[in-house]
Structure 1
Amino acid sequence: MAAVAMAVAASRSFFLSYPNPSKTFLLSTSTSSRTFFLSRASSASTASPSLEPNPSPSPSLNSKHVVEILQERGLIESITSENLKSCTNIKAYCGFDPTAESLHLGNLIGLIVLSWFKRCGHVPIALVGGATGRVGDPSGKSAERPELDGQTLEQNCASIKTLIKGILSRNEVQNLEAGFKRDSLLILDNHDWWKNITLLDFLRDVGKFARVGTMMAKESVKKRLNSEDGMSYTEFTYQLLQGYDFLYLFQNMDVNVQIGGSDQWGNITAGTELIRKILQMEGAYGLTFPLLLKSDGTKFGKSEGGAIWLNPSMMSPYKFYQYFFSVPDVDVIRFLKILTFLSIEEIDSLEEDMKKPGYIPNTIQKRLAEEVTRFVHGEEGLKEALNATEALRPGAETELDAKTIEGIAKDVPSCTLAYDKVLNCTLIDLAVSIGLMASKGAVRRLLKQGGLYLNNARVDIEEKAIVESDIIDGKVLLLSAGKKNKMVIRIE
């Protein structure tokens, strides 16, 4: 084992202790004779992963290195060393803090990049911050994050692990007990090792290697120090916590690459610095990708409002699909490159199609929506989104049913009315009473223009009233003013 060979050559020793003394093994560095312990968490269901190098990865479909693929797609902001481009055995991890029960659109690029590593034969690792989530990453934030209780964090961690497994795997996740395989996916929780580390141990064994000047020079720290609220000591130490995660994974599991958004550069380099200083070793790399930004330049997130959630229980596949279907032309090609696995050649061809006479608007947006929805929600989720989209298209011949309408009720405005208040009510009165249109005059004008629909059927008669056969399955109505302004009416 490589670790044993290092132990012979170096003069400073680290013991990584396991609950079972027989599993204690020796790693070494070369700066001091003092030995100290870094405790590894115990669990009845968690065994020591194999430290043997993973097999050489199979070549990607186009035989390009993963870094080259990411670069040509605009998925690399910075890397810590050009040597990463020649690495053949990579174990790359990306961290996800459990500050909500779902990941959101801002996390999607991290999952995409991990998936590229997996597709190129490397080992992707998703690290859920069960420990760091108790502190909160100050990067990109103007104020300290709200504190979450332990139970909420545990629930969020469990939900996010399930979500990541579904998105990145769609099959069995490789268990720790079985070690690493070339096509494996690992989902870890940093609380597993942090829960056994004391403050004094951390200050002695890690804190002494951190330089305050370097920590204060990090961009995430400088911005907060200059803000009105400043930065708490707790947030200030976050970069060391994340840095230690990289050190721990590098030392215990041969993880040699950390990836993250561009706002994570300071946290990532904190880890590579700790590895160099404490272990006196090279071979740890950092890679950042551009943040996914809105048209106004702000981040996608949950606290900024209007979050695009990846969990179908918080945002339906239909609404998720509709978001990407509505992406402006100016962004659609960039999104195809960074959020899908279509070849660059195919994307270039689609871009040329946009410039040709007769191009049907939103054709490429439809392809983008299909690809991203399939990645996040799978084939079943995409099918659900397409069925709902077709069923809700004004003028569509698809026969509506109550289940389909109820399925999108949370994604469009809805209301509940008594049966006797709806039956025999004129459509004009109904449209005004539920707030679909502002006035009866506006409804009449829209009707004359052919833009008023009841259950996707165009209404041409001004005196049209609701009859029993209009109420789908005796439960719901769908009223549409134009293509996008809809209202679901539940009947009691």
Structure 2
Amino acid sequence: MRNNDGVTHVIDDLQWRDLIALSTDLDALRAELARGPMTLYCGFDPTAPSLHFGHLTQILTVRRLQLAGNRPLGLVGGATGLIGDPRETSERQLHPRETVAAWVERIRAQVEPLLDFTGEYAARMVNNLDWTAELSALDFLRDIGKHFRVNKMIAKDAVSARLNSDAGISYTEFSYQILQGLDYLELFRRYGCRLQTGGSDQWGNLTAGTDLIHRMEGESVHLLATPLVVDANGQKIGKSTGGGNVWLDPEMTSPYAFYQYLINIEDASVGMFLRRFTFLDREEIMALEKETAERPSARAAQRRLAEEVTRLVHGETETRQAIDASQALFGRGDLSSLNAGTLRAALSEAGLGQVPALGTVAELFRTSGLSSSLGDARRTIAEGGAYINNQRVADGDAVVERSELLHGRWLVLRRGKRTVAGLELAAE
């Protein structure tokens, strides 16, 4: 059911969660939200086979607006994905049409579970290829292009950066903002859409739509841009310590690795992550922030963050497996209860090597890198600090049997309480 207080105060909640960086007229938007259900949209371009963690900012902002009694449109850009928005550095690679079409379906499947497609405020997925595929070049230039002024287009940050670089910018990428403007116009005409959300780094593209609607329809519509989310070092979220994206696709970033990324968020950022990426209420978030300040070693905020967001993206079963794996790897759970995929993902994060054959305990500890030499391994074993599959080992010369392999493939080696490595028996 629609809650009038929720609609009136959703802007306050977004502000408290620091999710509003830029807007067209926040007071006007607040007033229109209070008058009745608003249709809004956010677009996602299939420029890769998966969305990454940073995209959750937009999806969850749309969800918050839907929960407040508004109707969201999730746009996957089958047309704009063929071009890609301009980057400040270089031209994007153009992917084959069949590839982009396949990515459209993959991204649609990632967005849909995070929105509600039932009831009075049901979401709808749309594809901008539906209104651009049959549009001729002449009609595009005559009906849409004539409403754009080149002097304004080249002033946009990404465009101006490229114009002043050796790389320059192609007409293809230069035209991206016209296509995005056309999206807002079409959604305004088809569904009465009056709000677009996006990242603050997309502001130039976002305003293309409001300007076009004003010129062609004489209407003033709304924009709301979220800030970029960066960690304490100023690095954009979604980047792992290895420099790659943290993807929403479980085949590209396992649920375990996703969970670990979140549980390792630094104390200085965890409050911000809780506000922007969970639906916990203010009181609980503030209590977790207080606990982080008073007992940082407990990492209660990080554990709650990792559990909440992993459950949103990957569901209850994968979240429980990730939690169980995180505990079992360090001796606080049953390794044999983990499924093969979760165990392999956990060991890959910890450090996974291969061995052509099984050998003695000491040899395996040296091979895994947990010990620098056979002598070092034997000292660790003698001191009671060596474990295989969470069982303390006492004889460095004992030969590990195939029956000890988890899922017939892996061993979990641990030195002390917190240093873990995995070994996989190579296929014969």
TM-score normalised to structure 2 length: 0.90
Amino acid in structure 2 at the alignment position of 1:428: A
Secondary structure of 2:125's match?
Answer: strand
1:87 aligned residue (23, 27, 32): 32
Question: 1-side partners of 2:148 and 2:383: how far apart?
Answer: 69
Q: Which residue of 1 aligns with 2:388?
A: 454
Letter in 2 for 1:459: V
1:384 maps to what in 2? 321
- For 2:50, which of 102, 116, 127 is the aligned residue? 102
Bigger Cα displacement from structure 2, 468-477 vs 181-190: 468-477
Alignment of 1:157 with 2:92, yes or no, is no
| Secondary structure at the counterpart of residue 256 of structure 1 | strand
Query: Partner of 2:235 in structure 1?
Result: 298
Q: How far did residue 168 of structure 1 move?
A: 2.5
SS at match of 2:154: helix
CA distance in 1, matches of 2:52, 2:409: 33
Q: Is the 1:97–1:132 Cα contact (8 Å) retained in structure 2?
A: yes
Contact 1:436 1:487 in 2 (8 A): no
SS of structure 2 residue aligned to 1:188:
strand
Alignment of 1:334-349 (within 5 A): 334-349=272-287
- Is 1:329 matched with 2:297? no
1:67 to 2, 6, 11: 11
Is the aligned partner of 1:470 residue 2:404? yes
- Mapped contact 2:75–2:125 kept (Cα < 8 A): yes
- The structure 2 residue matched to 1:241, chosen from 179, 187, 192, is 179
In structure 2, give the amino acid aligned to 1:404.
N
- Asked whether 1:194 is paired with 2:138, we answer no
> Distance between the aligned counterparts of 2:379 and 2:164, measured in 1?
55
Residue 82 of structure 2 contacts residue 94 of structure 2 at CA under 8 Å; is this kept in 1?
yes
Q: How does 1:3-42 map to 2 (within 5 A)?
A: none
Amino acid paired to 1:288: A
Report SS of the residue matched to 2:298: coil
Quote the RMSD (CA, aligned, Å): 2.5
Matches within 5 A, 1:106-117: 106-117=54-65
1:395-441 C-alpha deviation (Å, 9 max, x unpaired)? 2242525x6344331451434444xx21xx22221222344544335
The alpha carbon displacement at 1:446 in A equals 4.7
The answer on whether the counterparts of 1:474 and 1:491 sit within 8 Å (CA) in structure 2 is: no
Distance change (3 Å), C-alpha of 1:475 and 1:115: same
Instruction: Determine the C-alpha separation between the residues in 2 that align with 1:218 and 1:252.
Output: 28
Distance in 1, Cα, partners of 2:321 & 2:4: 31
Give yes or no for contact 1:129–1:190 (8 Å, CA) kept in 2. Answer: yes
Higher helix content, 1 or 2: 2
- Give TM-score, length-normalised by structure 1: 0.79
Letter in 2 for 1:129: G
Q: Establish whether residue 258 from structure 1 lines up as the match of residue 205 from structure 2.
A: no
How many Å separate the matches in 2 of 1:468 and 1:253? 62
Structure 1 partner of 2:421: 486
Q: How far, CA to CA, are the matches of 1:406 and 1:250 in structure 2?
A: 45
Cα distance in structure 1, aligned partners of 2:405 and 2:422:
14
The yes-or-no answer on 1:311 pairing with 2:249 is: yes
Alignment equivalent of 2:158, drawn from 181, 205, 220:
220
Q: Give the 3 Å change call, closer, same or farther, for CA 449–293 of structure 1 in structure 2.
A: farther
2:377 alignment counterpart:
443
SS of residue matched to 2:270: helix
The runs of 5 or more residues in structure 1 that have no matched partner are 1-56, 175-180
Counterpart AA for 1:355: A
What is the distance in 2 between the residues matched to 1:210 and 1:313?
42
> Equivalents in 2 of 1:301, 1:229: separation in Å?
27
Question: Residue deviations 1:72-117, cap 9 Å, x none?
Answer: 1101101111211112321111111101121101211011101101
Consecutive unaligned residues in structure 2, runs of 5 or more = none
**Contact 2:291/2:300 (CA < 8 Å) preserved in 1?**
no
Q: What is the CA–CA distance in structure 1 between the aligned matches of 2:19 and 2:106, rounded to whole Å?
A: 27
Partner of 2:400: helix, strand, or coil? Answer: coil
Work out the CA distance in 1 between the residues paired with 2:332 and 2:344: 18
Q: Distance in 1 between matches of 2:376 and 2:126?
A: 57
CA distance in 2, matches of 1:215, 1:474: 60
Deviation, structure 1 residue 355: 3.1
Query: What's the offset of the Cα at 1:471?
Result: 2.6
Q: Are the aligned partners of 2:114 and 2:313 in contact in 1 as well (CA < 8 Å)? A: yes
- Give the whole-Å Cα distance in 2 for the aligned partners of 1:138 and 1:302: 21
Which of 331, 336, 346 is matched with 1:395 structurally?
A: 331
Point out the more displaced range, 141-150 or 191-200.
141-150
Q: Name which of structure 1's ranges 441-450 and 458-467 shifts more when overlaid on structure 2.
A: 441-450
**Which segment drifts farther, 72-81 or 296-305?**
296-305
- Could you tell me how far apart the structure 2 residues matched to 1:205 and 1:146 are? 28
Question: Does the CA contact (< 8 Å) of 1:75 and 1:338 recur in 2?
Answer: yes
2:376 is the counterpart of 1:429:
no
Instruction: Confirm whether residue 132 of structure 1 aligns to residue 80 of structure 2.
Output: yes
Query: In the alignment, is the contact (CA less than 8 A) between 2:368 and 2:421 conserved in 1?
Result: no
Residue 281 of structure 1 is matched in structure 2 by: 219
In the TM superposition, what is the alpha-carbon distance from 1:152 to its structure 2 partner? 0.5
* C-alpha distance in structure 2 between counterparts of 1:451 and 1:108, whole Å: 41
